[in-house]
Amino acid sequence: MKNKLGIICAMEEELAPLLLKLQKKKQTNKANMIFYSGKIDNLDTVLVVSGIGKVNASICTQILIDDFKISHVINSGVAGGVKKEIQPLDVVIGTSLIQHDMDATAFGHKVGEIPRLSKINFDSDPTLVDLAYKASLKNTSYNTYKGIIVTGDQFVSSKDKVESLYKDFNALACEMEGAAVAQTAFLNNIPFLVIRAISDNANSGASIDFIYFKNKAALNSLKIIEEIISFL
């Protein structure tokens, strides 16, 4: 099967640098999203802004799988740092994704565990993780980490909440889409990867940092994708 890559970003500014590289662009509108089909470095690629949140991300991923027949999916963008030493512009490669706001503990499940699926962690494709990690290490202007990224439908700006995410899940970063992309890809047997450049850290003024760093942070994620595209 010929490789075809789907790339999802939550916000326009996260996708913009890659969109400039897409050749032979064709637009398709569905579910209030614009899917841009074309080629980057001769690889069939579909770019899309999903919008913010887990529902948008899940719908977007399923459309990429059903309508565009992608073979791999990458969710790229920005996130909040959880571990104290992870600072704005650093990059986290997600080895696995967890929905931190999934709570069915009243029925005997662990926090993050999805009932009837019996899963907490959705593991990224190891080949894509390795490629992204090695590509990111080439840039010494920031630090690169790989580990757990947690997802929830909330912007985390509380120091207490960040500390609980690290304690409960050993999370390195938190955001609002990745685990939804991961679960959808898992259910469809599609290899996936989540890359997050850090735009803020709730240990030091999350909302202020986010506004200042989000565009620069997104560029760090997108540079890594170029390396993955050359491999695929």
Provide the annotated active-site residues: 14, 200
How many whole angstroms separate alpha carbon 26 and alpha carbon 6? 14
Q: Phi/psi class of residue 141: alpha, beta or left (left: φ > 0; alpha: ψ in -120 to 50)?
A: alpha
Is 8 in contact with 64 (CB distance < 8 Å)? yes
| Phi-psi sector, 57: left (phi>0), alpha (psi -120 to 50), beta | alpha
> Across-strand partners of 146?
93
Pairing of strands 72-81, 4-9: parallel
Determine contact, residues 231/113, Cβ cutoff 8 Å.
Answer: no
Closest Cα partner for 185 from 122, 133, 129? 122
Query: Where do we find the tokens 């999370």?
Result: 171
